[in-house]
Amino acid sequence: MNAPMTKSYDMAERAMANAIRALTMDAVQAANSGHPGMPMGMADVAAVLFDRFLSIDPSDPKWPDRDRFVLSAGHGSMLLYAINHLLGYADMPVEELRRFRQLGARTAGHPEYGHAAGVEVTTGPLGQGIATAVGMALAERMANARFGDELVDHWTYVIAGDGCLMEGISHEAIDMAGHLGLGRLIVLWDDNRITIDGSTELSTSTDQMARFAASGWHTIACDAHDPAEIAAAIDAARQDPRPSLVACRSVIGFGAPNKQGGHDCHGAPLGAEEIAAARGYLEWTHEPFVIEPAVYEKWRGIARRGAEARREWESRRDSHPQRAAFKAAQARGGLDELTAAMADYKAQLLLNRPKVATRKASEMALAVVNATLPDTVGGSADLTGSNLTRTKDMRPVRRGDYGGRYLHYGIREHGMAAAMNGIALHGGFRPYGGTFLAFADYCRPSIRLSALMGVPVTYVMTHDSIGLGEDGPTHQPVEHLASLRAIPNLLVIRPADAVETAEAWEIAMASADRPVLLALSRQNLSTVRKDVTENLTARGAYPLLDPGDRQVTLIATGSEVEIALAAAELLAAQGIRAAVVSAPSFELFAQQPEDYRAATLGAAPRVGVEAAIRQGWDGMMLRTGDGFVGMTGFGASAPAPDLYRHFGITAEAVAATARNLIEE
């Protein structure tokens, strides 16, 4: 029994595809772990896509005008690794395929951005790839609007599975892409009718073509094993001005004669016997991991075509009138100018000492940021007037008009976060976007990916405590600061006043390799800082008030810093010397030298103050026996001052806790 001939069989492309299949079977078998089903099912589609359409240059994987290929169904990582090996990526020799899923190999279980060249985004958590790709395709159009076709003219292709399309984030992504008319986005759906549990009939009956069409997409279907049909479908997708869904009717595990079409080949090695059967079925006579030169040659031709396109692009760029601006955007430049502009702004703050919410202070700082850095792109998940993320003259991005700098992301926190990842990964822009801090939960999988990938996006999370008042416990973050500080490589900053907020924005804009999350108050806060000679927020924590020979140290963040200061005054009136430490960022503080940390926190008893749970304070800021004034459970619905009193987060309570510690 041999693999069925399709009506427009292309020997060369079938061989290209079979190389993916063979490498996948062999690598998964060697690892005794992995997912052969998807790479084998979509190998023909991938071969046609790369052979006939994709423009990338493995010798310059970061070429800005390359097409983006996103493997949203990340468990099929061997598809990507096999392709990157065949294309000749320098970091993907066959030895890496042999070490698939082993410690230290570039061939991680799921594709990881930064871990191997040619991986555009970390995928595996389903739906993230397609939603990130929306941001990439959007960034392409935004960059095109700024720099024209000569410099920016590429496509974003996605391979997505049923899982990606069942996840909720896909709805947010699809609606957003359709609304913005992202015609450069083409999603190749691995329509294999199989999920881990079995047939898709077990769990879904959505007509995906109709669903995408309802959100303004072009849709077309093809036989995923017929190169001519595949090519015709991708051609049609490129012709249509709308984003496109190509339903690729595929057989999962295509080529494994006894397992293909079933869910058994999704996530486990095929086994030696079935691999031998597949080699017969596919008429693939080579030893494991061996590819014949003619097949390599065909794949390397794609690489040469891409290198040629990249060189032509470089010539265009070098003679382009906007080349300097283009390079600056790519390099995330302008930081010197920002430092200078912020210095003036912060000096004014010291004079004016505004009493504003830090969300308002964020808007004020953003006015400076956005006037200085042309590559910022703001937005909000439908809370623009609450997050205060849109500064003057920020024109919205709309379908067909991508020159603006503001995105109405809609009520789509998850889609927003993933799109921001995509914008940042694409390059050329510094994205920031807002929602309420409580709704960080809605976009947490994408925030985690920002951190895991180390992409510099800025989350503007306002209404950061019970201080938001009447909206009540569903909207009041209590555990969110702890849960966000728990995410490795995420920089959480909770500024106490307008100066710290400005400093936080400087840190966020300078960040090159990690995301920054700002937790901002709804309620007005006094300016507490006395000088602006150093960005003290970058220290993570610093003494705001130090009476010398302190008897107690009050450590607070954000809106509770002014409560700590008031407590220190109460204590002073009772003859007790209290230092106050403002601690806007635990992560930045943890990076300081040990002696700085010890000196800042002091040896005296400590009281932490934060309108949130204590988790995360102990070990970092507090020692056994130190005190804490904060929350122990969910909030309530009432005006903010009532809530602070009700939950005992007051200067009096802080002073009392301090006195008890001193007297112990």
* Distance of closest approach, residue 210 Cβ to a second copy, in angstroms: 4
For residues 422 and 74, what is the distance between their CA atoms, to the nearest angstrom?
16
Burial of 117 per CB tally in 10 Å (0-12, 13-18, 19+): middle
322 counts as binding a second copy under rule CB under 8 A: no
Instruction: Supply the DSSP symbol for 43.
Output: H
Segment interacting with a second copy, rule: CB under 8 A, options 135-143, 273-281, 318-326, 380-388 = 380-388
For residues 509 and 335, what is the distance between their CA atoms, to the nearest angstrom?
8
Looking at the Cβ atoms of 128 and 527, the one nearer to a second copy is 128
For residues 131 and 516, what is the distance between their CA atoms, to the nearest angstrom?
20
442 counts as binding a second copy under rule CB under 8 A: yes
Burial per residue of 344-383, b for 16 or more beta-carbon CB atoms within 10 angstroms, e otherwise: ebbeebeeeebebbbbbbbbbbbbbbbebbebbbbbbbbb
Structure-token pair, residue 78:
């061997």
At residue 376, the 3 state secondary structure works out as strand
The whole-angstrom distance between residue 482's C-alpha and the CA centroid of its chain comes to 20
- 320 annotated as ligand-binding: no
608 counts as binding a second copy under rule CB under 8 A: no
386 counts as binding a second copy under rule CB under 8 A: yes
At residue 615, the 3 state secondary structure works out as coil
Looking at the Cβ atoms of 175 and 506, the one nearer to a second copy is 175
- 144 annotated as ligand-binding: no
592 counts as binding a second copy under rule CB under 8 A: no
For residues 304 and 57, what is the distance between their CA atoms, to the nearest angstrom?
7
Looking at the Cβ atoms of 305 and 444, the one nearer to a second copy is 444
Which residues are CB-contacts of 221 (< 8 A; sequence separation ≥ 6)?
191, 209, 233, 246, 247, 248, 249
Asked if residues 189 and 248 have their Cβ atoms less than 8 Å apart, the reply is yes
Q: Which residue bears the tokens 């405590």?
A: 465
For residues 462 and 359, what is the distance between their CA atoms, to the nearest angstrom?
6
For residues 467 and 454, what is the distance between their CA atoms, to the nearest angstrom?
31
| Active-site pick, 274, 413, 562, 587 | 413
* Distance of closest approach, residue 587 Cβ to a second copy, in angstroms: 12
Segment interacting with a second copy, rule: CB under 8 A, options 345-353, 358-366, 540-548, 616-624 = 616-624
Cβ neighbours of 189 (radius 10 Å): 29
- 163 annotated as ligand-binding: yes
* Distance of closest approach, residue 368 Cβ to a second copy, in angstroms: 24
380 counts as binding a second copy under rule CB under 8 A: yes
Looking at the Cβ atoms of 207 and 652, the one nearer to a second copy is 207
Which residues are CB-contacts of 287 (< 8 A; sequence separation ≥ 6)?
none
Per-position x/- string for 91-130, each x denoting binding to a second copy as judged by CB under 8 A, each - no binding = ----------xxxxx--xxx-x---------xxxxx----
Beta bridge partners of 218: 244
* Ramachandran bin of 131, using left for φ above 0, alpha for ψ from -120 to 50, beta for the remaining angles: alpha
Binding positions for a second copy, 244-303, rule CB under 8 A: none
Looking at the Cβ atoms of 168 and 241, the one nearer to a second copy is 168
Looking at the Cβ atoms of 51 and 626, the one nearer to a second copy is 626
Binding positions for a second copy, 167-206, rule CB under 8 A: 167-172, 175-176, 178-179, 195-198, 202-206
- 126 annotated as ligand-binding: yes
- 125 annotated as ligand-binding: yes
Candidate list 10, 44, 51, 162; residue touching a second copy; CB under 8 A:
162
649 counts as binding a second copy under rule CB under 8 A: no
Candidate list 461, 487, 545, 579; residue touching a second copy; CB under 8 A:
487
Looking at the Cβ atoms of 61 and 216, the one nearer to a second copy is 216
415 counts as binding a second copy under rule CB under 8 A: yes
616 counts as binding a second copy under rule CB under 8 A: yes
Segment interacting with a second copy, rule: CB under 8 A, options 368-376, 406-414, 422-430, 655-663 = 406-414
Binding positions for a second copy, 9-38, rule CB under 8 A: 31, 33-34
Query: How does DSSP assign 245-266, residue by residue?
Result: EEEEE--TTTT-TTTTTSGGGT
Candidate list 293, 385, 548, 593; residue touching a second copy; CB under 8 A:
385
- 463 annotated as ligand-binding: yes
Binding positions for a second copy, 534-563, rule CB under 8 A: none
Looking at the Cβ atoms of 122 and 650, the one nearer to a second copy is 122
461 counts as binding a second copy under rule CB under 8 A: no
For residues 37 and 252, what is the distance between their CA atoms, to the nearest angstrom?
5
Segment interacting with a second copy, rule: CB under 8 A, options 420-428, 480-488, 548-556, 566-574 = 480-488
* Distance of closest approach, residue 567 Cβ to a second copy, in angstroms: 21
For residues 492 and 641, what is the distance between their CA atoms, to the nearest angstrom?
25
506 an active-site residue?
Answer: no
Beta bridge partners of 433: 459
408 counts as binding a second copy under rule CB under 8 A: yes
* Distance of closest approach, residue 630 Cβ to a second copy, in angstroms: 12
Query: How does DSSP assign 526-587, residue by residue?
Result: -------SS-GGGGS-EEEE--SS-SEEEEE-GGGHHHHHHHHHHHHHTT--EEEEE-S-HH
Count of residues interacting with a second copy (CB under 8 A): 109
- 35 annotated as ligand-binding: yes
For residues 72 and 631, what is the distance between their CA atoms, to the nearest angstrom?
40
- 218 annotated as ligand-binding: no
Which residues are CB-contacts of 441 (< 8 A; sequence separation ≥ 6)?
480
Segment interacting with a second copy, rule: CB under 8 A, options 328-336, 345-353, 411-419, 505-513 = 411-419
Cα–Cα nearest to 522, from 470, 581, 595: 470
Residues making up the binding site: 35, 75, 124-126, 162-163, 192, 194, 266, 359, 386, 439, 463, 471, 475, 522
Residues belonging to the active site: 413
Residues making up the binding site for substrate: 35, 266, 359, 386, 463, 471, 475, 522
Residues making up the binding site for thiamine diphosphate: 75, 124-126, 163, 192, 266, 439
